[in-house]
Structure 1
Amino acid sequence: MDVTILINSIIYALLGVLIFFVSFIVVDRLTPYDLWKQLVEEKNTALAIVVGATALGICLIIAAAIH
């Protein structure tokens, strides 16, 4: 196995996670309410589904851009 392929895979994985984290923070800041309070304290299931779908959408875009 070529070591450069492994290193490149690790770099792209970390880059993808970093981009996802930053973009999710942006989504959190753009919402007019506190996501953590709504999800954890008030157990807003509908919002949890929307946030999960948003996270999956962001991940698909990042994966397609890196691939």
Structure 2
Amino acid sequence: MPEIVNMKLLFNSLLYSILGVVVFWVSFIIVDKLTPYELWREIVERKNQPLAIVIAAMCLGIAIIVAAAIHG
């Protein structure tokens, strides 16, 4: 009976997904520490929309880099 799901490929996908999320959050925390103010307070409490757009672009950039690094 053929395997429907290759367990090795599933494990590798889960491992790389978790690794990608961890790398993304670590890089976001580093960017948050490098900025002169608290990003969350600026975006949520003070409704700083331009900063939110810049942070969203940064998040997309980091996600693309992590995905490309994992993909190979």
Q: Normalising TM by the smaller chain, what interval?
A: over 0.9
The CA deviation at 1:35 is 0.5
* RMSD value, Cα: 0.5
Higher helix share: 1
TM-score (norm 2): 0.91
Share of identical aligned residues, percent? 57
Structure 1's consecutive aligned runs of 4 or more residues displaced over 2 angstroms after TM superposition are: none
Unaligned runs of 5+ in 1: none
Q: Which amino acid aligns with 1:57?
A: G
How many residues align structurally? 67
Query: Deviations for 1:1-58, whole angstroms, at most 9, x for unmatched residues?
Result: 2100000000000000000000000000001111011000000000000000000000
- What pairs up with 1:22-61 in 2 under 5 angstroms? 22-61=26-65
TM-score of the two chains, using structure 1 as the length reference: 0.98
**Structure 2 gaps, min length 5:** none
CA–CA distance in 2 between the matches of 1:55 and 1:31?
A: 15
